[in-house]
Structure 1
Amino acid sequence: MAELILVRHGQANSTAQDAESYDNLSPLGIEQGRWLGEALQQGALPFSHTVCGTLRRHHQTAAAMGQDLRATDPRLDEFDYFGLAQQMQAEHGIAMPQDGAGFAAHVPVLLDHWQRRALSDVAESFNAFETRVAEALNAHTADGGRVLLVTSGGVISMALRLVLGLDLAATGKIMLQVMNSSLHRIERIHGQMMLAQFNATPHLDAPERAHARTFV
């Protein structure tokens, strides 16, 4: 049996309007990572190894968790949301969101345009993103064991789409619900991938940490 524990990075720069500015944990994001690391040390089985995407916020989260990072995998990197959003604005006049409500409305529209190839100049197609996430899941379950993957919300949403056979609308809803520093567990049993846990935040469940339950 193989077990993947996917962790979304801690809260990043939620006011950013471009990928470079976004790719840095906030002070709360670092605290979320530290709390998660403490929670994972309490009675859990050890990880075979830890793998991060290549983004700064992935590595900052792993460091805050106290994980001994030995490997990176670019297939765990987030898709280029900001690039896609800017292209959609340029081609279709759909403005980038300015707040949480705007983001929630924007995500399903962006995914629809991306999947339908309604954006003419993108760095990565929807199908290519789906393929690389599938390859990452297969690669990191191939040898069995318990593997920690530090990644992003879009990757986690795509992983669940693949495991559960979700349509695009459901994938978008999942994407909006993936919390910062949340845990998601996928098991590979008898050649099939199964979802065993979604959006767990044991390190944030105490009432005094309610302020730290963030989505952006």
Structure 2
Amino acid sequence: MATLYLIRHGQASFGADDYDKLSELGCRQASAMGRYLALHGIHLDAAYSGNLLRQRETAQLALASQAQTVPHHVDPRFNEVNNDEQLEHLVPELVASNDRLRALMDKGLRESKDYQKVIEAVFNYWVSPACQHPDIQSWEDYSTGVRSAVRDLIAEQGAGKTVAVFTSGGTIATIVAQVLGLGGEHTYKFYEPIFNCSVTQLFYSGDKVSLSYFNDRSFLQMMGRESDENLVSYR
């Protein structure tokens, strides 16, 4: 039996000119993650991430606490869902028939909660058969890429390994839905609640993959109490 940890990146810089980097809190979350793994004797044989900066930064900060150097493989199939692309191309289609979404767009997406409401509408449209936009990556292509990335990782690492994938909420939600045999219409249910730097644990043996636990952030709560700070965040 081998263990695969799916770790969401630390808090990114929402509202900044460059979203794709960790905030100060995100850096502390990633470092806390690394300390937690080391303190609990979790020794990684390998690590993977997408090529997004916030994913790679989280990996680097977490892996710094490992006793030995951990090989870090970068695979863009572990990148996040391309929300910017979807907002650009799909929102104009949706606002024509969705007054609530139009009002949010008119208000502007300066608040994280408003941005998330729009992402929910866009994501659920994107995964539906009704979405056939030619200028964006399709759900089928994206989800197939995620599935093949996990399959290739398992084949590369083999039995008895402990591996971490530093990735993003949409990717973790997609993997969990696939492990549970659920389609795209159920995936957003796992996407929205994922905390920054939370851990989802999978076990695999051969081609069989099973879910052990999902979206655990208890270590952030514990370590935050020890340092008298709040390390828990959604966005």
Same fold per superposition (TM over 0.5): yes
Give the alignment of 1:1-216 within 5 angstroms: 1-16=1-16, 21-65=18-62, 66=64, 68-93=70-95, 94=101, 95=105, 97-115=109-127, 116-118=129-131, 120-142=133-155, 143-144=158-159, 145-189=161-205, 191-206=207-222, 208=225, 211-216=230-235
CA distance, structure 1, for counterparts of residue 139 and residue 5 of structure 2 = 24
CA distance, structure 1, for counterparts of residue 183 and residue 24 of structure 2 = 35
2:45 and 2:71 in contact (8 A); partners too: no
Give how far 1:112 is off: 2.5
Q: How many pairs does the alignment contain?
A: 213
CA distance, structure 1, for counterparts of residue 170 and residue 117 of structure 2 = 16
1:4 and 1:140 in contact (8 A); partners too: no
SS in 1 for 2:7: strand
CA distance, structure 2, for counterparts of residue 165 and residue 70 of structure 1 = 29
Amino acid at match of 2:166: V
Higher radius of gyration, 1 or 2: 2
CA distance, structure 1, for counterparts of residue 9 and residue 114 of structure 2 = 22
Give how far 1:98 is off: 3.7
Deviations 1:5-34 (A, max 9, x none): 111000001225xxx822110000000000
Amino acid at match of 2:111: D
Structure 1: runs of 5+ lacking an equivalent: none
Deviations 1:81-106 (A, max 9, x none): 11101212233334374423323432
CA distance, structure 1, for counterparts of residue 119 and residue 91 of structure 2 = 13
CA distance, structure 2, for counterparts of residue 204 and residue 152 of structure 1 = 17
Other-structure match for 2:98: none
Worse-matched range after superposition: 3-12 or 83-92? 83-92
| C-alpha spacing 1:138/1:101, structure 2 compared with 1 (3 Å) | same
Give how far 1:107 is off: 2.9
SS in 1 for 2:44: coil
Amino acid at match of 2:2: A
Structure 2: runs of 5+ lacking an equivalent: 96-100
Give how far 1:210 is off: 6.5
User: Where do 4+ consecutive residues of structure 1 move more than 6 Å?
Assistant: none
Amino acid at match of 1:33: A
CA distance, structure 1, for counterparts of residue 38 and residue 233 of structure 2 = 22
CA RMSD of aligned residues (A): 2.2
Task: Report sequence identity in percent.
Answer: 25
Amino acid at match of 1:52: S
Q: Give TM-score, length-normalised by structure 2.
A: 0.82
CA distance, structure 1, for counterparts of residue 12 and residue 137 of structure 2 = 23
Q: Give TM-score, length-normalised by structure 1.
A: 0.88
Deviations 1:123-152 (A, max 9, x none): 311011110111111111221211111111
| C-alpha spacing 1:210/1:110, structure 2 compared with 1 (3 Å) | farther
1:52 and 1:69 in contact (8 A); partners too: no
